[in-house]
Amino acid sequence: MVTRAAILAIIAETAEEQWGLVTRRQLERSQIPRTTLERLTAPNSILERVALGVYRLVGTPVPDHLELRAAWLQLAPEVPAWERSPDEGVVSHRSAGALYGIGHLPADRHEFTVQHRKQSRRPDIRIHRRALEDTEWIQLRGFPVTRPARIASDLLYDHEDPGAVAQIVADAIRNVFDYPGTFAERLAPHAGRFGLRRNDGSAMLHSLLDLVGDDETTRWMQEARNPMRPRQTDQAPTPTLPRPGSPDR
């Protein structure tokens, strides 16, 4: 029989590695009796429900992007956050843009990219199925998140407003969240649809930056064409973001 002290230790250890959150499936796999789980998740108990099957340990700091974190945990509720791979879901599209704090598209739903079939019954979760290369995502705020160049490409495939995508591109380059050359590579497949020469990523990048009218456009385009720029296989730049608890931009 699992003692109360052991149960509390299991909950605390799991929550510590998951921003104060645990899932019911994780606790069930720890052999915690169902009756005990019912008591722990009852109103005014030590576990506060934040989403179906996801709970926050009372007394722990409320993490930033709480709803997004809970939605991500729901994608594979039995797998601890520290054991997950991109196969369990990568934050993408508008949700990824919100994590970086780039652009102005509202993240009014939680968006994830997976490489295998996965579904959610929640109307505020949208799951995209598309191949994802290792160079197209990084760990950010404890999540696997698509890089800005991939965000821009994904949004164009989704027929988002080009001006809104252009703002994401400019914000990301200005803050060194991604490279002009990487944007050109990822934007190349969209060039023909916008009346440009097929697969001309530089022209597509220039076309978007012209929509923003940033003073740095000329320099950024020089960097995009510079053969000495970081290659696609190089390590992605590490974003410098607001500290946890500070307002997102």
Average pLDDT over residues 48-60: 96
Question: What pairing do the DSSP bridges indicate for beta strands 54-57 and 47-51?
Answer: antiparallel
Which CATH number covers residue 44?
1.10.10
- 234 part of a folded domain: no
Residue that finishes a domain, picked among 77, 107, 130: 77
pLDDT tens-digit map of 80-101: 999 999 999 999 999 999 999 9
Residue 11 domain flag = yes
pLDDT of residue 180: 96
One domain for residues 71 and 93: no
CA dihedral defined by 201, 114, 96, 119, rounded to 10 degrees? 130
What is the layout of strands, in order, in the sheet containing 143-146?
Answer: 125-129, 110-114, 90-91, 143-146, 137-140
Kindly tell me if the per-residue pLDDT of 18 is higher than 60.
Answer: yes
pLDDT digit string, tens, across residues 131-190: 999 999 999 999 999 999 999 999 999 999 999 999 999 999 999 999 999 999 999 999
235 domain-assigned: no
pLDDT at position 231: 45
With cut-offs at 50, 70 and 90, classify the pLDDT of residue 50.
very high
- Find out whether 93 and 158 touch, Cβ atoms under 8 Å: yes
**Do 111 and 220 share a structural domain?**
yes
Could you list the residue range(s) of the whole structural domain that residue 133 is in? 85-225
175 and 96 in a common domain? yes
Residues 58 and 130 in one domain: no
Query: Which region holds residue 20: left if phi is over 0, alpha if psi is between -120 and 50, else beta?
Result: left
pLDDT at 233 over 50: no
Q: Are 148 and 177 within 8 A, CB to CB?
A: yes
- Give the count of beta carbons closer than 10 Å to the beta carbon of residue 188: 20
Residue 16 lies in a domain: yes
Query: What is the per-residue pLDDT for 168?
Result: 98
Whether 240 maps to a domain, the answer reads no
Does residue 232 belong to any structural domain of this protein?
no
Of residues 68, 60, 44, 51, the one with CA closest to residue 12? 60
What average pLDDT does the structure give for the chain?
90
